Structure 1
Amino acid sequence: MTVTVTVTAPDQPVRTGAALRIRGLRRTFGSAVALDGLDLDVAPGELLALLGPSGCGKTTALRVLAGFERPDEGRVLLDGEDIVPVPADRRDTAMVFQSYSLFPHLTAADNVAFGLRMRKVRTAERRARAGELLELVGLSGHGDRFPHQLSGGQQQRVALARALALRPRLLLLDEPLSALDARVRLTLREEIRRLQLELGITTVFVTHDQEEALSMADRVAVMNGGRLEQCASPTELYERPATGFVAEFIGTMNRVPGRAGGDGLVEVLGVRLPVEGPGGTGNVQVLLRPEALEVTAGGTARVTRTAFHGATTRLRITLPDGTDVTADVPTHGAAELTAGAAVSVRPRQRPALLAAWDGAA
Structure 2
Amino acid sequence: MNGARVEFRGLRRTFGTTVALDGLDLTVEPGELIALLGPSGCGKTTALRCVAGFESPDAGAVLVDGKDITRVPANRRDAGMVFQSYSLFPNLNARDNVTFGLRVRKVPTAKRHARAAELLELVGLPSQGERYPHQLSGGQQQRVALARALALEPQVLLLDEPLSALDAKVRVTLREEIRRLQLSLGITTIFVTHDQEEALSIADHVAVLKDGRLEQSGPPAEIYDRPATPFVAEFVGTMNHLPGRVTGDEVEVAGQRLPVHGQRPDSPDVDVLVRPETVLVTPDPEGEAVVVTSSFRGASVRLRLRLAGGTEILADLPGHDAARLAPGEHARVRLVERPVLVAPRTAAVADAVPAAG
Using structure 2 for the length normalisation, give the TM-score: 0.93
Alpha-carbon distance in structure 1 between the residues aligned to 2:227 and 2:344: 13
Shift of 1:47: 0.4
Shift of 1:70: 0.9
Q: 1:91 aligns with which of 77, 80, 84?
A: 77
User: Does residue 1:67 correspond to 2:53, yes or no?
Assistant: yes
User: Does residue 1:119 correspond to 2:105, yes or no?
Assistant: yes
Alpha-carbon distance in structure 2 between the residues aligned to 1:328 and 1:192: 30
Checking the alignment, whether the CA contact within 8 Å between 1:112 and 1:165 is kept in structure 2 is yes
Alpha-carbon distance in structure 2 between the residues aligned to 1:18 and 1:282: 47
Alpha-carbon distance in structure 1 between the residues aligned to 2:44 and 2:295: 32
Alpha-carbon distance in structure 1 between the residues aligned to 2:53 and 2:201: 28
Q: 2:258 aligns with which of 266, 273, 277?
A: 273
Unmatched 5+ residue regions in structure 1?
A: 1-14
User: Does residue 1:339 correspond to 2:339, yes or no?
Assistant: no
User: Does residue 1:330 correspond to 2:315, yes or no?
Assistant: no
Unmatched 5+ residue regions in structure 2?
A: 350-357
Q: More deviation in 146-155 or 159-168?
A: 146-155
| One-letter amino acid of the structure 2 residue matched with residue 343 of structure 1 | A
* TM superposition outliers: structure 1 runs of 4+ over 4 Å: none
- 1:150-165 matches, within 5 Å, as 150-165=136-151
Q: More deviation in 287-296 or 335-344?
A: 335-344
Checking the alignment, whether the CA contact within 8 Å between 1:306 and 1:314 is kept in structure 2 is yes
Number of aligned residue pairs: give it. Answer: 345
Q: Structure 1, residues 283-326: CA drift from partner, whole Å, max 9, x if none?
A: 22211110111112232322222211122101122223222221
Checking the alignment, whether the CA contact within 8 Å between 1:43 and 1:202 is kept in structure 2 is yes
Alignment root-mean-square deviation, CA = 1.6
Q: Secondary structure at the match of 2:257?
A: strand
| One-letter amino acid of the structure 2 residue matched with residue 265 of structure 1 | E
Checking the alignment, whether the CA contact within 8 Å between 1:301 and 1:320 is kept in structure 2 is yes
User: Does residue 1:285 correspond to 2:271, yes or no?
Assistant: yes
Q: Secondary structure at the match of 2:30?
A: coil
Shift of 1:350: 1.9
Q: 2:119 aligns with which of 121, 129, 133?
A: 133
Checking the alignment, whether the CA contact within 8 Å between 1:49 and 1:213 is kept in structure 2 is yes
Shift of 1:168: 0.6
- 1:16-31 matches, within 5 Å, as 16-31=2-17
| One-letter amino acid of the structure 2 residue matched with residue 233 of structure 1 | P
Shift of 1:348: 1.8
Using structure 1 for the length normalisation, give the TM-score: 0.92
Shift of 1:26: 0.7
Percent identity between the two aligned chains? 67
Checking the alignment, whether the CA contact within 8 Å between 1:244 and 1:356 is kept in structure 2 is no
User: Does residue 1:248 correspond to 2:212, yes or no?
Assistant: no
Shift of 1:356: 4.0
Checking the alignment, whether the CA contact within 8 Å between 1:109 and 1:131 is kept in structure 2 is yes
Q: Secondary structure at the match of 1:355?
A: strand
Q: Secondary structure at the match of 1:333?
A: coil
